[in-house]
Amino acid sequence: MIKKILILAIMIVTAAGSFAQNQSSADLKKKQAEIQKEIDALRQQLDETKKYKRQSLSQLNLVQKKLRLREAQIRNINDQINLIQTNINASWRDIVKLRSELDTLKLQYEKSVVYAYKNRSNYDFLNFIFSAGSFNDALKRMSYLKSYRAYREQQATNIMNTQVQLEQKIASLNQNKAQKSQVLQEQNKQFKVLADEKKEKDAVVNKIKSQEKELLKDMAAKRKQDNALKNSIRAAIRREVEAEKRRVAAIEKERKRKEDEARKADAAIAKKATENNAAAGKPAAPVASKPVEKPAAEPAKPLGLFDSREEVKLVSDNFEKNKGNLPWPVNAGRISMKFGRNKYEGLAIDYDNEGITIEAEANSTIKAVFDGEVSAVFSIGPVQAIIIKHGKYFTIYSNLSSVSVSKGQQVKAGQSLGRLDEKDAGRGELEFQITNEKNVYLNPETWLR
């Protein structure tokens, strides 16, 4: 029974170490699968860009992103190789240690067997016991003999357990070696693919270089359009802030008017009471101050409900609370220019983007990402733009060919705002921005789900 328990304990410890190793390996493989899935999606998007009339910075963006993902894939594989090699080294150390322990155990067991053989006679054991000087000494000698017998059994059990551990470590070592061989093959494959993708990127760069003047012209036009859009946004936000100030001032003015009217009414009542008392020959009654009316206690609300004031507050704050969970303003598309500084390797082109540029099919439906009020609808050259207010935040949708909402209109999340204009061969570019009442532009990617 003791032998079975010891073997089981050894197997549990070994399995625990193996589980930790497998868990780390599983995490790396899961990450590798996620990267590969994203690479496959990028490859599909690149195939779609081939139908356009000319090479674009969007295509170069996709190629560069695919290269970064491929390099991340290779780093992930290197991590797997390092993990496997660490496990191999640990297995070798354990094997050497176990073999040394096994040799020692066998040597000790051999000595005990030889000793037992030389003293195998029952007479010797009885003589050893009965030669004791006292009864207690005889009991101690019997206990010693039992302990010695248990020691020999324990030696045999230790040898068996060590052999089991050694066999498991050798099997694990062989498995890790085979796994390392497979991962190395995958690494070599990824290096070859990376080399091909670098050639693909160089080819795209060379083609775009032939259109560099035209692209620089497009960038200049985009900067001009962005400046006009920024001025319109600033003016719209200023109008909203001023309107809010006027609204608050009007509310305060109305409050003061009502307070003045209440004071005048109280004074008139007090004066009339004094005049009536004087005519009747009664002393003037002291004017009692009007007790302050306490609002009636509100009944306890069932859990999950809220009153209209809380609802209004939540609507004004809810946009911020939904950061990272807002829907995309178009059903299908891809980010062709990210938020912030955009640099293009091999080209003398860079651009600071106030939002994100989403490339999608021309005439795609553009939708509101959250409930709000249309703050402004205006034209920027041949295209149109919409600003929607969400409390202290604003979302901007530009490069629309048509608009289906008007200023002051309340809109719901997912409601159609208009259609995307065509830029080149059936594709359009939505300029989507998020800003606040202080004209600070925010990265839309961190807000969209």
Lowest mean pLDDT among 147-151, 194-198, 444-448: 147-151
What topology does CATH give the domain 224-243+321-446?
A: Glucose Permease (Domain IIA) (2.70.70)
Read off the DSSP letter of residue 330. S
Half-sphere exposure of 257 (CA within 13 A, CB side): 6
Q: Are 161 and 6 in contact (CB under 8 A)?
A: yes
Whole-structure pTM value: 0.56
Instruction: Find the angle CA(279)-CA(285)-CA(287) to the nearest 5 degrees.
Output: 125
Per-residue pLDDT tens over the stretch 38-54: 877 777 777 766 665 45
Cα–Cα distance measured from residue 168 to residue 165, given in angstroms and rounded to the nearest whole number = 5
Instruction: Provide the β-strand partners of residue 429.
Output: 359
- Share the mean pLDDT of the chain: 77
Q: Are 354 and 342 in contact (CB under 8 A)?
A: no
Q: Are 376 and 387 in contact (CB under 8 A)?
A: yes
**Nearest by Cα to 175 from 76, 87, 96, 77:** 87
Positions of E strands within 82-134: none
At residue 304 the predicted structure's pLDDT band, cuts being 50, 70 and 90, is very low
Return the structure tokens found at 273: 């009471």
pLDDT at 203 over 60: yes
The gap from C-alpha 23 to its chain's centroid, in whole angstroms, comes to 21
Return the structure tokens found at 13: 């410890």
Q: Are 200 and 63 in contact (CB under 8 A)?
A: yes
To which residue do tokens 């919409």 refer? Answer: 386
pLDDT at 188 over 80: yes
The gap from C-alpha 297 to its chain's centroid, in whole angstroms, comes to 44
Identify the H or E element spanning 412. none
What average pLDDT does range 162-176 have in this prediction?
A: 81
More confident residue, 427 or 364: 364
Cα–Cα distance measured from residue 100 to residue 108, given in angstroms and rounded to the nearest whole number = 12
At residue 119 the predicted structure's pLDDT band, cuts being 50, 70 and 90, is low
Instruction: Find the angle CA(268)-CA(274)-CA(277) to the nearest 5 degrees.
Output: 140
Annotated domain spans of the chain:
2-209, 224-243+321-446
Classify burial at 310, counting beta carbons within 10 Å of its beta carbon; exposed 0-12, middle 13-18, buried 19 or more. exposed
At residue 423 the predicted structure's pLDDT band, cuts being 50, 70 and 90, is confident
At residue 107 the predicted structure's pLDDT band, cuts being 50, 70 and 90, is confident
Do strands 356-361 and 365-367 pair parallel, antiparallel, or not at all (unpaired)?
Answer: unpaired
Return the structure tokens found at 445: 């990617």
